[in-house]
Amino acid sequence: MPAPAETLAPDVWAGIGTPMPPNSAVISPENITQIAQLGHWGKGRILTAAYTPDGAQLIALTAEGVYWYDAATAEQTAVQRYNRTLINMALSPDGQLLALAFATSWDVPTYVEVRRTADNELVSALQVEFNPPIPNNGCSLRLMETPSSPPLGN
C-alpha cells in the first residue's frame, strides 16, 4: 500500500526562511516559463576550480563568487562576490592575474574582467560579443599575453 501523500499548507516554511509555494499544477510545456529559482543554500555549484601555480591555494568559481581555500587545510581564506553571474575563470600561468567571465544574457559570456590576485584590483575589462551566440557548453576561457598585445598587468 503506497504511503499517503502529504499536503503542505501555504504557510509552511522550509529551510532557512523560504516559504513553500502553494500547491500548483504539474510541470508541463504550457507552464514551464513559470518555473523560477526561489533560493539556494550555500555557495552555489562549483563551475570550475584551479590551483595557484605554487599549489598553496585552490580557487573555486561558483555563480555566486570566487572562493579561495588553503589547499593544505581546505579552510576558506577569501571570497569575492559580484553582482553579475559568473560563468568561467582562468588563472594566468604565473598566478598573478585572474580572468572572470560574466554572463548578462542566458549562458553566453558577454563581459570579461582581469583582476590581480594579490588585491582583487581590476586590471582590464572588456565586452565580448559572439555572433551567433555560443552557449557555454564546455567552452574555455584562457588568459594569455601575445607579443603584439599590451601587458595585462600594467
Q: Rounded to whole angstroms, how far apart are CA atoms 149 and 147?
A: 6
The pTM of this model reads 0.60
Nearest to 52 by CA among 89, 91, 109: 91
Question: Would you state the cell numbers that stand for residue 74, as one nine-digit string?
Answer: 581546505
Domain with residues 41-127, CATH architecture: Beta Barrel (2.40)
Q: Rounded to whole angstroms, how far apart are CA atoms 85 and 110?
A: 11
pLDDT of 40 above 90: no
Q: How many CA atoms lie within 13 A of 83 on its CB side?
A: 0
Q: Rounded to whole angstroms, how far apart are CA atoms 21 and 109?
A: 32
pLDDT, tens digit, 9 for 90 and up, residues 49-70: 999 999 999 999 987 899 999 9
Domain ranges of the chain: 41-127
Question: Would you state the cell numbers that stand for residue 7, as one nine-digit string?
Answer: 499536503
pLDDT of 78 above 70: yes
pLDDT, tens digit, 9 for 90 and up, residues 108-124: 557 889 999 999 999 99
Residue 133 Cα distances to 91, 102, 105, 109, angstroms: 24, 14, 10, 9
Cβ pair 58, 118 in contact under 8 A: no
